[in-house]
Each structure stands twice: as structure tokens, then as C-alpha cells.
Amino acid sequence: MLLKWYVKATTLAVSDEGATAVEYGIMVAGIAVVIMATVWLLGGEIKTLFETVITKLKG
């Protein structure tokens, strides 16, 4: 069974077919979701950090 998985993984890795537009679209959508979640979760902290840096640079 492990050999079958190895053969499938090797076949996929060596495949000469390029990624389709659908695959790129899914990848871009996934990256966008990660970016949005990060901004949503850390947005307030990042804003505070930048405000602190600006305050220290001014004074």
C-alpha cells in the first residue's frame, strides 16, 4: 500500500501538466483568505504598533 502512495506521489510530482487557471484561482483565493484572517485577527495590534513607532519617531 505504501508503494502505491509513493508511485502516485511520484507521478504527480513528475507530471508535465501545468497548473490550470482553476488551480491558480483556488490558490489565490486561499491566500486571500489567509491574508484577510490575519488582518482581522491582528489589525488592532498592528495599528497600535505603527502608532507607537510614529510617536517615537516624532518625539
- DSSP labels for 15-52? --PPPPHHHHHHHHHHHHHHHHHHHHHHHHHHHHHHHH
pLDDT digits (tens, 9 = 90+) for 1-49: 777 777 777 776 665 566 788 889 999 999 999 999 998 999 899 899 9
State which amino acid sits at residue 50. Answer: F
Q: Look up the pTM and report it.
A: 0.51
